[in-house]
Structure 1
Amino acid sequence: MSVVADRPDLDLDPHRLVDPEVHVHGDQYAIWHRMRRQTPVHRHPAGDLPAFWSLTRYADVRAVYRDPETFSSRHGVLLRPVALGEDPGGGMTLALTDPPRHKQLRAVVADWFTTRAVRSLTDRIEDCVRSVLDRAYEQGRCDFVHDVAGRLSMHVIGTIMGVPERDHDALFRWTNEAFEAGVSLAAHRELMAYFIDLMEQRIDDPTDDLVSMMAGGTLGDDLLTEEEIVLNCENIIGATENGRLAIAGGMQALLEHPEQWARLRADRDLLPTAIEEILRWTSSATHSMRTATRDCEIDGVPVAAGDRVVLWVPSANRDETVFDQPDRFDVGRTPNRHLALGIGEHVCIGGTLARAQLRILLTALLDTAGRIESAGPVQRVRSIAVAGPEHLPLLINPR
């Protein structure tokens, strides 16, 4: 990605960061580069979006993530237009709760995301990877985002949630419709009706799946309400967008840096560091928001109680004071203490699963793929919330 020195005529106004087009064209990296040096804690006035503070340095982003008492998630973790008000899931979902409620809610679902649980899913993930790659090889040309990354992510989370395999295609179609329209999954009537029905089935007849676990889960002495169950289903399904963007963005990075793909082919021991570098490089969650619960300071800048603070995660993951040559994609990078999956109380509960999917898919590609090359222009997601390719057309053939 370009930095300021490479693009002297670029408009580096920080306020451009709220324009999705800036993120489509990659200008945000140059803006963040300058902000890290000149205005790492920057105030944005209210407009269609509420007023907020931008944080662009690694140390500041990390410190806010690790201080949920001062920086709350309850009032929303993404910038929303003022006209929409606060996120209706506040206080009810994994993403939108603070300690101690967050820890209680996390405990309800955590068993499905442990290393042991993910290991037990390995065969199913491998089966899905074989299926999506066989289809891609048969076609010869595919949209890697839709045909491989998206199908893999949705199949795996659908399996965990107890969605019957016969319904995976419908779940995939509904979520695609919402993602491509840039609307909340909660606004998709068929999808939400499906999970309401699934929830009711599991309340009456629980099985061994995540929805059943939530249906029987308690916070203190109280069962989760039906609204909490459905909103958490939406929250967990919605997280698959980040997963597929990271997978597809990783494939794009390897294509654009063929010498790194060659390194990986020559040395499979690089897979663990390659996966961490893909997560750092793609940083598919573009921003995460918190709300200050008290008057405080960030880097000496006064922040008032009630102020919104936006953490630009990709900027933190390109911070020159932390990462050597941060604008270089390096599958052997170490150390690599990126923040792509968060840190602290809200570290991504699906991190182990995300890494497993990447490892299994990359291994299968290394084992079976011959030619992989671009089959057309890449289209990036038009968003300030998530980042990555929306369409990645490839020519892909088996060995």
Structure 2
Amino acid sequence: MTVSPVSPARLTDPELHAGGDPHALWRWMREHEPVHWHAPDDLPGFWSLTRYEDVSTVYRDPRAFSSAHGVLLRPTAQGADPGGGLTLALTDPPRHQQLRRLVARWFSERSARQWEEAVRRAVRAVLARAIERGESDAVHDISARLTLHLIAGLMGVPEGDREDLFRWTNEAFEAGTSLVAHHETMLYFLDLMDLRTAEPADDLVSALVHGSVDGEPLTAEEVLLNCENLVGASENARLSIAGGFLAFLEHPDQWQRLRDDRRLLPTAVEEVLRWTSSATHSMRTATAARDLGGRRIEAGDRVVLWVPSANRDEAVFPHADRFDIARRPNRHLALGTGEHVCIGNVMARAQMRVLFTELLDTVRGFEQCGPYVPVRSIAVNGPEHLPIRLLA
């Protein structure tokens, strides 16, 4: 057996993901150690899954692999995730489906069509500002503003408050901390919850405040944590969009290919999602003993799904390390699958389609004009900063 390029223990080191080559390690693990046990240290012990088939199996079986105990690795000293069993991301059936139904219509195809013109106006405004400035950050000046604008609109955040929310979420994301720990953000949503309790509107916060599960209204804590969950998920969207800019900068032939044939737009969006795989890992907890990938998983064991590895699995994606905007089929797992598939997946795709269309209509192209700085994290990946210049 060939020797691993680096120790699998390095998978919990943010420096590997920011400055090393995790894909080389994942490639070795898929071939030689697809289900690998990590002994506990400051993190609890867990199993690493790197093959598409195993990752998909866990995603699709929420009863055997629970989300209620947390979906991200946390240092043991931090204790359990405060959202466990309370939020859309951290609940199991049947409660997960009940929570999902409360907010599902805001993330539907119909809602995406209704919001498309508002998204287009936001994209045009952001691009016009970027062209005027000359040099912009693809992360903060473009992708972050677009994703925040959309989720804030869905939640009913007034336009006059969105700049504050934009600043607060940036502070939390850059610090690598949960929005729960950002007091201004939480206080803001507590005030908005009070307002929507008295004056309901057609928005997500009103749906949560006035919603119920099994005939019982959600507690204030549940509403607040679900607001945090929804806003926090926008980090993945912003990283995917910014990662899309980087992918096309590194593969200019693919941008020209899209410019020459816009019929490739739907497959280009899917390939950007696969290629960027902005959620680096997702975690589940086994509810009963079972075999997986030739190893015995015991009840209570944590199982970590390395999503970028699954999306480069050569058994599923021919020439997996090639960025190909015409790739078909493309059954990537960047947005999850099964009952816990990202509720914002339709909106994410629609927003990316609008952005790419407006870029094709508005500019000749774009160029990098400064060093790319990657995110330092084992939870998400993509550009922290990506200076670009839009060529009008």
2:137 corresponds in structure 1 to: 143
- Report SS of the residue matched to 1:121: helix
Measured in 2, the distance between the counterparts of 1:397 and 1:207 equals: 41
2:362 equivalent to 1:363: no
Measured in 1, the distance between the counterparts of 2:365 and 2:256 equals: 12
Match of 1:232 among 219, 226, 230: 226
**1:295/1:305 contact within 8 Å kept:** yes
307-316 or 10-19: which moved more?
A: 10-19
1:131 corresponds in structure 2 to: 125
Within a 5 Å distance, the mapping from 1:1-399 to structure 2 comes to 11-398=5-392
**1:94/1:235 contact within 8 Å kept:** yes
Deviation string, structure 1 residues 116-158 (Cα, Å, up to 9, x no partner):
0111001110010011000000001000100000000000100
- Report SS of the residue matched to 1:376: coil
**1:145/1:244 contact within 8 Å kept:** yes
**2:9/2:38 contact within 8 Å kept:** yes
Q: Percent identity?
A: 62
Deviation string, structure 1 residues 354-396 (Cα, Å, up to 9, x no partner):
0011000000000011241011110000000001000000111
Compute the TM-score of the two structures, normalised by the length of structure 2: 0.99
Deviation string, structure 1 residues 229-257 (Cα, Å, up to 9, x no partner):
00000000000000000000011101110
Measured in 2, the distance between the counterparts of 1:130 and 1:106 equals: 32
Deviation string, structure 1 residues 284-310 (Cα, Å, up to 9, x no partner):
000000001111110121111100000
- Report SS of the residue matched to 1:12: coil
Measured in 1, the distance between the counterparts of 2:85 and 2:243 equals: 32
Structure 1 stretches lacking a partner, 5+ long: none
Return the offset for 1:12: 1.9
> What letter matches 1:327 in structure 2?
D
Aligned residues: 391
Compute the TM-score of the two structures, normalised by the length of structure 1: 0.97
Return the offset for 1:25: 1.7
> What letter matches 2:248 in structure 1?
L
**2:5/2:28 contact within 8 Å kept:** no
- Report SS of the residue matched to 1:96: coil
Measured in 1, the distance between the counterparts of 2:72 and 2:143 equals: 24
> What letter matches 2:322 in structure 1?
R
Return the offset for 1:209: 0.7
**1:260/1:331 contact within 8 Å kept:** yes
**RMSD, aligned α-carbons:** 1.0
Measured in 2, the distance between the counterparts of 1:191 and 1:26 equals: 33
**1:12/1:34 contact within 8 Å kept:** no
> What letter matches 1:200 in structure 2?
D
**2:143/2:239 contact within 8 Å kept:** yes
Moved over 4 A (4+): none
Deviation string, structure 1 residues 68-103 (Cα, Å, up to 9, x no partner):
111000000000000001101100001000000000
